[in-house]
Chains A and B, each alone.
Chain A
């Protein structure tokens, strides 16, 4: 087969300061590659380089000339940013509702029959008329998957295609990918070594910006590399101390959360009807449910980020909502991470300052910090192995490392209520094990109650015993 694109001893530098080094990689028409490596090893950079991003310092690039259909965080962020622009009505003007899912899908291939079929299989049929930005994390991922697969572009880039997709849809998504991979060239990136499809032929394994192994995926050496990614053990650790003297250290009233007969609907779509729920201090909860069952909406009722918290009977940390309390009164007791927060964390700040912002519940840091807070943050950075990145810009870290940092940001104050909404999306197996170990430690700390949200029911977290299972709305 003819070479479709390739790199010869290429050193490529990116705006973030990251560089890919001594890149020797040739991809032939119709190849099926798995690209793997730990968080921060350069997987996204490699995908960007395929798309022509980056500055060639030395070596040679045989650039790809065919159009790419891509499913990745980069694409998702680009579409979300474009939507926000469209939604930002001018002074005095009215808002539009935003682009519907169907129009987003049709951008790469207007074949509505095909799109309808794929959408139905993944359970998106009802959502086609909904504004794209209203979708949940899992639903968004499904839309981007359908959009990429249905395109006729000869090169398919799938960066964690099953990220956030619920258990019921994973097999279907997996089969759809196989069907549409067909004769196309596919570059698949995933941390899920247990879910590598049979049709993948080659492995490129990255470490610190270089491809340290490439060859047949079936070779035993390939298996060794992949196993290395998941079998390193998490070292023993102790949590850093809490800060002394912060108002939010006073334990709030228990029950922490009381919801009575909660009703929420989006337009005509009911999400909750007569939901009753209480969270007591020390009771750790796992909330599960398929994509679109309202998991994030439920959390937003607690954090105060949903306007529906003013139209329902909610008592949060002893504050009856809508009686003169501010959202900052509520947030002082909460540590929070989600895909939504990750998307919203778009300010320029150093890694250290992002963690410090966890003490103030802000995106960016607007208040002066104490030396005690700085010491605690330094300890957390050490714990997650990113102490060397302390002064680097947050927004130039890899997606996986950003996620790990935001999880840590939620933990630094060891809040009364720690809310983790699908925290591990995008983490490599080792970092995921690290986060689970931290959660386990926190469940034993007596100060922090945990609310862990995941679409995956078969994903028990040690130390968490209560379950709330949401049906599809």
Chain B
């Protein structure tokens, strides 16, 4: 198999990268009707598989599962997940031939093997769905010509997909139809009904492409999302401890700090996050962010370039074939870091304190979000995609760190994201080392401690202008506007 994206002519590459449009709620008036009475068979019953299936069934669709024969005979957790929830489970040979829609919700790494086994069993003109397009785009899997291939990608972990549905809402979702596999022109209708069945239509759906989803997803997760938060956690913690901040306190400030400061991001973008700082702290954070952006821009560009050329996925697939040596080594290394091993203090830290004492963390989020967004859009990815894969997802990843630090983050994200995070962290740590050297606890751990909060008017106007006029703020304001029209917060 050859990388699909690389096989496309430039105009097609650009067209597919540049696909991402917010869909009007009226496009989903038919709900799940297109799939009513059809047979949906889900391959795999992990977090996405189980939770999407529960939603689809509660929306009135006919859902069952198929698992590898060994998972069934050994009653593995995936088998127990499905059967204890009252789903019918069978082998590929039993379930696939009758399926109208097969949802491949196994991990990326298993995709090519799974597809190779199920494809010959699928009936003519059936549909194969993914929730992440890595297999199609990076591995270049060719799917039989009579089959429709679509993607419905909820932009949240599976448990969140379920919880939001039960609340009567949903999670933002990207959908796409694979241009090479839409023989009957029904791909979009199926994808829309599938998205409605998971509740995604209530939170907002974006029409994307396999290419745009994969390239932006990879870029976001390895740079700002997991990469920056991991590298930032380690740097901030080590800095504080070296400067005499009590380690339990430093660990707490980092563990819960990301969640607290990015909550502000969720409500009002970088602008609101920066507005939570005092004026002198805001100027400080803006300056730190500028320095980091200058240092890190080449790294972000390298990640984007490697993703576009397929060098990244090639390297990762080599590691797959090498029994995940690099990935597993990295996972172990992370678990051994001082931050990860420190237990946090019981002392209360107030919400505002996380901002006041976490100026450097705010700066890291700003630098990472803006850089990832700038790099993605410069590479031809549309602002909408870039927004969802950078700013929008930061609070979701920050939540996982708040739960159980980096261990939780790395076990929640996909192996693909974790591998990308590994590459980023190794390159980013040494790059930021000289930048970190002169910093003090005024920007991380203790706060500025100023009695006089005065600042220069012109300087403040310039910085505010710069924050507010960044393109991620423009698109963010618009997309958050669409979302709140649907979801009233508070």
Contacts and interface: CB of A to CB of B under 8 A. Distances in A.
B404 A92 contact: no
B86 A308 contact: yes
Interface in A292-330: 304-305, 307-308, 310-311, 324-329
7 contacts: A85-B403, A90-B411, A94-B81, A307-B54, A324-B37, A326-B60, A364-B167
B159 interface: yes
B158 A91 contact: yes
A361 interface: yes
A92 B414 contact: yes
Given A349-B490, A362-B169, A364-B168, A91 B47 contact: yes
A361 B166 contact: no
Interface in B16-70: 32, 36-37, 44, 46-48, 50, 54, 57-62
Given A91-B46, A92-B47, A326-B58, A363 B403 contact: no
Nearest 5 Cβ contacts at the A-B interface: A362-B168, A94-B77, A92-B107, A363-B167, A90-B412
A324 to B, nearest CB: 5
A95 to B, nearest CB: 6
B202 interface: yes
Contacts of B166: 305, 344, 363
Contacts of A325: 60
Given A53-B348, A363-B167, A94 B46 contact: yes
A350 interface: yes
B411 A362 contact: no
B76 interface: yes
Contact of B412 (A15, A88, A364): A88
Contacts of A344: 166-167
A180 interface: no
B168 A89 contact: no
Given A324-B37, A325-B60, A363-B166, A91 B157 contact: yes
B81 A95 contact: yes
A464 interface: no
B168 A360 contact: yes
Nearest to B37: A324
Interface stretch (B184-192, B363-371, B386-394, B481-489): B481-489
Interface string B75-110: 011100100111100000000000000000011000
Contacts of A305: 166
A469 interface: no
B384 to A, nearest CB: 22
A436 B486 CA distance: 36
Interface of B: 32, 36-37, 44, 46-48, 50, 54, 57-62, 76-78, 81, 84-87, 106-107, 157-159, 166-169, 202, 348, 350, 403-404, 408, 411-415, 486-490
B107 to A, nearest CB: 4
A15 B353 CA distance: 13
Please classify the interface of chain A as helix (H, G, I), strand (E, B), loop, or mixed, using the class held by over half of its residues. Answer: loop
Contacts of A15: 350
B46 A89 contact: yes
A93 B36 contact: no
A139 to B, nearest CB: 19
Contacts of A361: 168
Q: Which of A90, A308, A324, A325 counts the most chain B CB atoms within 10 A?
A: A90
Interface of A: 15, 53, 85, 88-96, 267, 304-305, 307-308, 310-311, 324-329, 344, 347-350, 353, 357, 360-366, 393
A91 B48 contact: yes
B98 to A, nearest CB: 17
Given A92-B48, A366-B169, 4 more contacts: A90-B412, A92-B44, A307-B54, A328-B168
Contact of B167 (A90, A267, A347): A347
Contacts of B78: 94
Contacts of A349: 490
Given A307-B86, A363-B166, A93 B411 contact: yes
Nearest to B157: A91
B128 to A, nearest CB: 18
Nearest to A93: B46
A363 B168 contact: yes
B168 A324 contact: no
A307 to B, nearest CB: 4
A257 to B, nearest CB: 18
Nearest to A306: B86
A92 B410 CA distance: 12
Contacts of B48: 91-92
Contact of A94 (B76, B169, B202, B415): B76
Contacts of A360: 168
Contacts of A89: 46-47, 159, 411
Nearest to B411: A90
Contacts of B62: 324
B67 to A, nearest CB: 11
A15 B300 CA distance: 40
A373 B59 CA distance: 26
A366 B404 contact: no
A349 B414 CA distance: 32
B168 A90 contact: no
A239 B48 CA distance: 45
Nearest to A393: B490
B304 to A, nearest CB: 23
Contacts of A347: 167
Contacts of B85: 307
A310 B159 CA distance: 21
Contacts of B169: 362, 364, 366
A91 B487 contact: no
A327 B489 CA distance: 24
A404 to B, nearest CB: 21
B74 to A, nearest CB: 12
Nearest to B203: A366
A310 B47 contact: no
